[in-house]
A = this chain, B = another copy of it.
Amino acid sequence: MPVTIKDVAKRLKLSVTTVSRALDGYDDVAAKTRERVIRVASEMGYAPSRAARQLRRQKTEAIGYIMPTIKPRFADPFFSEFIAGIGDEAASRNFDLVVSLAPPGEEAERAVYQRWVQGRRVDGIVLSRMRVNDWRVRYLSDSKFPFVAFGRTQLPIDFPHVGVDGESGMRELVAHLIERGHRRIAFVSAPADLTLQVDRMSGYRSGLAAGGIPVDESLIVEGNLTRDGGHHAAQQLLSLAKSPTAIIGANDLTAIGVMRAAHERGLIIGRDLAVAGFDGIESAEHTHPPLTTLNQPVYDIGRQLIHMLITVIEEGTLAERQIMLKPELLIRASTGG
């Protein structure tokens, strides 16, 4: 049984009040007493009970993140980057990070959010992989629960978030490919309910338009942001009668799957086929050849989001509520660079 504040008080022949106040740095306890308290408390290995403190203070000093992941596993390095970012920043502010996993859109997901919000499990929540019509935003906003998000929605709700301009990024990428001489540029998309899909797709389309190339719908096939999805889609694209000379993946994982399918057909990437992705995950540097991609600083965005969230939690308000970043086009050998 761990040592409580009462044990410390008894040992010091002081009241728990004084011990508590000494430890919390109030100035109504004599310097000498405070010293004694601090020394003895640490000698006894005292640390306040989180539960008791939370109950009394009505806050948890914890922030929550629910990974929108499909069972039975996920493996997108995007998430490790992101968790590293939010985890580092949270830790440095002495907040705990509580994570759970739930399949997006289903009942289970709703249950976790509700448990955390109603049960006051965390002080705030971080959202990612936003959907165009995202019930999480409606729910948290209705509940007046502090939250921030990586990405936007199409709801008429104003909330703090950091976004990456997928549209302009894609436009730039398409321009790059056109400039390299490509005319048949395919796109392996993400699930249609994701905001990132809407943005990136529209960038793809407007990029083609800007280059005077009509959109060929047969060159757009749906993936699911995984390697296998990209692999699958590419097989389909590459067996087309008029197959594409360039394929863009909605994210890097997709692009890596595309590269694999191309390899299997004996195509030399960068020469026979251009491939590009979106995200800038580290392993995209190490594919063969290295993958052209649109880099987004996921780690830093994570930190930034936590910073914003803690401000909202502590101040109740936030100056700069919406931040829009431009992804950086990294041209590498996979597009013949």
Query: Which residues of A approach B to under 8 Å, CB–CB?
Result: 2-3, 45-52, 54-55, 60, 62, 67, 69, 71-77, 79-81, 83-85, 87-88, 90-91, 96-102, 112, 114-115, 118-121, 227, 256-257, 259-260, 263, 282-283, 286-289, 299
Contacts and interface: CB of A to CB of B under 8 A. Distances in A.
Contact of A84 (B3, B52, B73): B73
B88 A49 contact: no
Please name the 8 residue pairs, one residue from A and one from B, whose CB atoms are nearest each other, closest first: A288-B288, A47-B118, A51-B54, A51-B55, A80-B80, A47-B119, A87-B101, A50-B119
A286 B84 contact: no
8 contacts: A2-B118, A50-B51, A50-B121, A88-B101, A96-B98, A97-B99, A256-B286, A288-B288
The oligomer's copy count stands at: 2
Given A46-B118, A100-B96, A88 B60 contact: no
A81 B75 contact: yes
A83 B83 contact: yes
Contacts of A227: 282, 286
Nearest to A78: B80
A328 B50 CA distance: 43
A41 to B, nearest CB: 11
A251 to B, nearest CB: 14
Nearest to A48: B119
Given A62-B98, A73-B299, A91-B100, 8 more contacts: A45-B114, A45-B118, A55-B55, A75-B80, A77-B283, A96-B121, A97-B99, A227-B286
Contacts of A84: 67, 69, 73-75, 101
Nearest to A87: B101
